[in-house]
Structure 1
């Protein structure tokens, strides 16, 4: 049951109880991982409540409020994690920035805001994680990047989001080749449309027929995939983009 005992997992973008990040924290804690999660703009009472709940699994837990749009955030974050819990062996890049745009509204500021979080923060944090992992002489490191299936179909009205999240797939493939000699696997997970609280009844009604399995995706679906990819059972999987969408039909 506790196959991650002694492992430290860093999960970004854990800002509310219904999110994929929170589900991943719970799942990894349930199998023994110590949890360090980041958040931004969250209710402080909820953050404390969530941290206490994670500790009930019998693991250590700490958190850090950080604006990942800050160029120095990835390095500061790794300093804090290392100081409080130790060198992490698992990194889950879950944080994302998303606003509606489309070609009529697309401008430099919109692009820069998306780039700062979705690309720069993910890339720099992954690189710094790997550098410190190498110095620690740990084995079996894991990096998981969350994507949204940008390579499977268009996302009208979200040009900046689609472009910056889509870049993560290319980064994942190239980084996986560089880090393989260190024993670090690098993969991406696309959970498809997931009900994390943003869907209203109209959206649910529209999406449900597109899921042949008969239900809309939930955060636990993504968390189970992530938990597998960070396990020893997945040590031979790297450089992959896993489209775990419940058979979602785009046409």
Structure 2
């Protein structure tokens, strides 16, 4: 049973990716969530209503012991299950100017986005290495490439993901495992709540914000066999927005 694990899949980009991977690849979708059970259940219901196969996996990506326990228990209960695709999507933003940023806001953002990617990937990649195949897609951001004022913590986390992606890709390429990063710009999700988009719209050549489904189509391609010679890359999806 080939599976895809998407962290932070209860809503937004994560939900769109979960739905697209189910539609395009007929993978059994492991919907990771940390606290929003109703939203996760909605993702699950949509997949199953379309004839797909999915289940919920509750864990906090920041907690390595919890990650290892939940994923390892799942693998023991599903000896025929293979997480062939991993999408490290979980992340949060806690924006403020650096001089006023609390240590907790720094640690939370780095912990969920960057440490979370480490925790989940280190567990899942063992089975990929054993099977000599796999796809790892890490969600970065335009913020990790150009930096954004008021997002020092978020930009640092997303830049770290890029560095980790490039290094890990070189370590596992000979095992037919690809590791790539996707760097969205402004995407229509709850993360844009409270953002004055009129301020930024002129800087987007496409003249609009992106949709989660557009990001999901890119991730679906990277999860496919068609992308087998692409690894260590950062693929931008931002309507032409660059520094």
TM-score with structure 2 setting the length: 0.90
Matches within 5 A, 1:96-245: 96-135=91-130, 137=131, 139-199=132-192, 203-245=196-238
Matches within 5 A, 1:38-53: 38-42=32-36, 44-53=37-46
Q: Write the deviation string for residues 51-96 of structure 1: whole angstroms up to 9, x where unpaired.
A: 1221233332011222222231331232244235722000000001
For 1:104, what is the secondary structure of its paired residue? helix
User: Out of 6, 15, 39, which is 1:11 matched to?
Assistant: 6
Kept in 1, the 8 Å contact 2:144–2:157? The answer is: no
Q: Distance in 2 between matches of 1:147 and 1:141?
A: 19
Kept in 2, the 8 Å contact 1:130–1:179? The answer is: no
Unmatched tracts of structure 2, length 5 or more: none
Kept in 1, the 8 Å contact 2:9–2:43? The answer is: no
Q: Distance in 2 between matches of 1:151 and 1:68?
A: 20
Distance 1:26 1:242, change over 3 A: same
TM-score with structure 1 setting the length: 0.87
Deviation of 1:39 after TM superposition, in Å, equals 1.1
Deviation of 1:234 after TM superposition, in Å, equals 0.3
Unmatched tracts of structure 1, length 5 or more: 1-5
The structure carrying a bigger helix percent of its residues is 2
Distance 1:12 1:155, change over 3 A: same
Q: Distance in 1 between matches of 2:158 and 2:191?
A: 19
User: Out of 67, 87, 92, which is 1:92 matched to?
Assistant: 87
Q: Write the deviation string for residues 163-214 of structure 1: whole angstroms up to 9, x where unpaired.
A: 1221111100010011112211000000111111343587233333333223
**Residue of structure 2 in register with 1:58 after alignment:** 51
Q: CA RMSD in A?
A: 2.1
Distance 1:214 1:108, change over 3 A: closer
Kept in 2, the 8 Å contact 1:81–1:87? The answer is: no
Q: Distance in 2 between matches of 1:150 and 1:48?
A: 30
Aligned residue pair count: 240
